[in-house]
Amino acid sequence: MRNYVIEDLPHYFEEYKKSIKNPKKFWDKVADQNFVWYQRWSKVVKYDMNEAKITWFKDAKLNITKNCLDRHLSVRGEKTAIIWEPNDTKEEAQHISYNDLYTRVNKTANILREMGIEKGDRVCIYLPMIPELAVTMLACAKLGAVHSVIFAGFSASAVVSRVNDCGAKMLITSDGSYRGSKVLDLKSIIDEALEKCPTVEKTLVVKRTHNEIKMKEGRDFWMDDLYEKASADFVTVIMDAEDPLFILYTSGSTGKPKGMLHTSAGYMVYSAYTFKNVFNYQENDIYWCTADIGWITGHSYILYGPLLNGATTVIFEGVPTYPEPDRFWDVIEKHKVTQFYTAPTAIRSLAKESTEWVDKHDLSSLRVIGSVGEPINDEAWHWFNDHVGRKKCPIVDTWWQTETGGIMISPIPFVTPTKPTYATLPLPGIQPVLMDDKRNEITGNQVTGNLCIRFPWPGIARTIWGDHQRYKETYFSAFPGKYFTGDGALRDEVGYYRITGRVDDVVIVSGHNLGTAPIEDSINEHPAVAESAIVGFPHDIKGSALYGFVILKESGSDRKQENLVKEINQLISDQIGPIAKLDKIQFVSGLPKTRSGKIMRRILRKIAEGDFSNFGDTSTLLNPEIVEEIKNERI
């Protein structure tokens, strides 16, 4: 990104104003000056928000991998593109240069082609966080195949529904994966899943753990064997701007997973632009995002955004607590990481550990630290700021979604003054609006409402794979003419946004609308509390009442717990008001969570209601065993 780097606050306001006044001109310049194209576009944007039809850079021809790889070779071919940090500290980290990555991608694209994959075919990837995950995604993109990464922690049934929904022709997996002290047998999960996936003709298997697995004759092939023989030359397939790049299923907490479709040009422009600005990326930086690539954060900000900018991006295979709870801090120190991007759930769990784990490390290389995935509560924000950023690194609290393709509301480091728990201001080109339940726009400041976006931006998903009607209904019908995010937000006195949580996380107690997030925030301030989740349950008098599930830092005696219930309610009463006091508090050892750290409130709601009949699809849960425990100990 040579141009359009935001330098200071007045410059931000100036750029922002321009981008809103004339979005076409704004994005035309960004696209024109920062990428290589085979052919230019005939129209910057065309949209019909009622029909949910959006196209960007119509008629442009490109391939994202030309921009991620080829164009860097002459200027930074020997620069490290990927630092791969394995699970085990005894295994050496790998430094993969842009030249090397280019060759690996070419060879892999040839393997895919020889196995019958052509432009437009869908390829599902079920791999741990190893270099081959990045390489196979890029190989698909180079060949024009549509990748759909499935997080390699999901069960066979989650794999079945995703593979069948997108009709994948091929699946790429590994013999196993390392996660902390565990070795997971991925291949047997795939074997079970493929029994029910008629469209998959072939699977490619990457060697990682070397454990014994079954290979099905004629269907399963070792990547290593083919890799040796594959040619290192591959002619890039030319893509149309709106040709599909990937499908990614959202870990949505209700209903059947949605296959969000992202297309080639708009996604490229938006992920590159936002990466550069939100992380204040400079040429010699070492950037690390701890997300899994199976989540949109990994797609946009481990892989595409960094490579589009010629960055060095860290891919970490392990978990934050292995071999010790200082692994993150150890990796930052070891690789001299300059930008560190993680999730509030990880911050909270590491903040539970003694601060010695973090304080003993030299984290002076850090310049910018970031958070994504859910609202970051005040306590976690300060812990992150004090112990990780050491009060010197701006925290970018980045609000965005699988559907948005890239970051939408976030501070720009060294430009936007940060404010704890606030995602602050929209990036250029993004027009947030707050709407009331009667579909009227709420103007002015010091207001809360349903967060919508007024005008399309290049990174917006174009449809739900195979179900445009659902796309239209989910995002474009609640507030006609606008994209509805499903989140609620507050706009403060200076116009900063604070995301208050999903709008479905509102409970009406005795006629008062109570967002569960602020109540959770105040509970979490209690020194004994590690985390909490609040849901509503039916109540004869109040309509709904509040049920709290609370994780303690240390589980105490019954007597102590009794006192805690009183103290927690006192805290809520003091901070929010007696109306928000909880009717029931259950102490639990964990909460049902999706991979990206989102609490599956649907399950908690059912438990609170006492309805154990059907918890719906729980295949995206990271810790399904916790459901049983919570159910059995319900109050």
Footprint on this chain of ligand 6R9 (rule: CB under 6 A): 250-251, 296-297, 371-375, 397-402, 423, 485-487, 499, 502, 596
Rounded Cα gap, residues 411 and 390, in angstroms: 18
175/487 with CB nearer ligand 6R9 = 487
Contact status, residue 27 vs residue 18, Cβ threshold 8 Å: no
User: Least distance from C-beta 215 to ligand 6R9, angstroms?
Assistant: 34
Of 491, 320, 307, 291, which is closest to residue 402 (Cα–Cα)?
Answer: 291
> Could you tell me which residues come within 8 angstroms of residue 214 by beta carbon, excluding any fewer than 6 positions away?
187, 188, 191
CA dist 98 and 66 (Å) reads: 12
Over its C-alpha atoms, the chain yields an Rg (Å, rounded) of: 24
Least CB distance to ligand 6R9 at residue 251 (A): 6
d(Cα 429, Cα 400) in Å, to the nearest integer? Answer: 14
Q: Structure tokens of 603? A: 């399950």
Q: Report whether 162 contacts 151 (CB < 8 A).
A: no
Question: What gap in Å lies between CA 394 and CA 367, rounded to an integer?
Answer: 7
Among residues 166 and 194, whose Cβ is nearest to ligand 6R9?
166
Quote the CA–CA distance of 173 and 192 in Å, as a whole number: 13
**Residue number with CB closer to ligand 6R9 (23 or 373):** 373
Q: With contact defined as beta carbons under 8 Å apart, do 599 and 593 qualify?
A: yes
572 vs 599, which CB is nearer to ligand 6R9? 599
Q: Is-contact 612 633, C-beta < 8 A?
A: no
**Smallest separation, CB 161 to ligand 6R9 (Å):** 17
Pick from 339, 275, 264: nearest CA to 309: 275
Q: Which two tokens stand for residue 312?
A: 């060095």
Minimum Å distance from CB 429 to ligand 6R9? 18
* Beta-bridge partner residues of 39: 61
Closer to ligand 6R9 at the Cβ: 30 or 503?
A: 503
Please report how close the Cβ of residue 305 comes to ligand 6R9 at its closest, in angstroms: 12
The residue behind tokens 């200082």 is 326
Longest Cα pair distance anywhere in the chain, in angstroms? 73
Residue 246 contacts residue 299 (beta carbons within 8 Å): yes
Confirm if 564 and 582 have CB atoms less than 8 A apart.
no
Nearer to ligand 6R9, 67 or 401 (CB): 401
Task: Report the nearest approach of ligand 6R9 to the CB of residue 498 (Å).
Answer: 8
Whole-number minimum distance, CB 372 to ligand 6R9, in Å? 5
Work out how close the CB of 631 gets to ligand 6R9 at its nearest, in angstroms, rounded to a whole number.
Answer: 26
Fill in the DSSP letter of residue 410: -
Shortest reach from residue 300's CB to ligand 6R9, in Å: 8
Which CA distances in Å does 475 have to 391, 452, 478, 617? 38, 9, 7, 22
- C-beta of 251 vs 474, nearer to ligand 6R9: 251
What the block records as the tokens of 372 is 């994504």
Q: Which is nearer to ligand 6R9, 280 or 404 (CB)?
A: 404
Name the minimum Å distance from CB 15 to ligand 6R9. Answer: 22
Minimum CB separation from ligand 6R9 for residue 248, in Å?
9
Nearer to ligand 6R9, 268 or 395 (CB): 395
- From the list 95, 107, 393, 411, the residue with the least C-alpha distance to 234 is 107
User: What is the nearest approach in angstroms of ligand 6R9 to the Cβ of residue 398?
Assistant: 5
Q: In sequence order, what are the residues at sequence separation of 6 or more whose Cβ sits closer than 8 angstroms to the Cβ of residue 44?
A: 23, 24, 25, 27, 28, 31, 56, 57
CA terminus-to-terminus distance, the chain: 56
Question: At closest approach, how far in Å is the CB of 596 from ligand 6R9?
Answer: 5
Distances from the Cα of 450 to the Cα of 48, 51, 368, 487, angstroms: 21, 21, 30, 6
| 424/544 with CB nearer ligand 6R9 | 424
Closest CA to 616 of 189, 197, 157: 157
| Of 73 and 506, CB closest to ligand 6R9 | 506
**Tokens, residue 315:** 């891919």
- CB of 599 closer than 8 Å to CB of 591: yes
Q: What is the closest distance, in whole angstroms, from the C-beta atom of residue 539 to ligand 6R9 in the complex? A: 26
Smallest distance, ligand 6R9 to C-beta of residue 423, A: 5
Q: What is the dihedral of CA 560, 562, 568, 570, to 10 degrees?
A: -120
Q: For residue 440, what are the contacts with CB-CB under 8 A and spacing of at least 6?
A: none
Q: Which is nearer to ligand 6R9, 410 or 569 (CB)?
A: 410
Nearer to ligand 6R9, 277 or 398 (CB): 398
Closer CB to ligand 6R9, 187 or 595, in the complex: 595
Q: For ligand 6R9, give the closer residue by CB, 487 or 521.
A: 487
Cα–Cα distance between 380 and 613 in angstroms, integer? 36
Pick between residue 63 and residue 250 the one whose CB is nearest to ligand 6R9.
250
Q: Among all residues, whose Cβ is closest to ligand 6R9?
A: 402
Asked if 365 and 374 count as a contact pair (C-beta separation under 8 A), the reply is no
d(CA 506, CA 534): 10
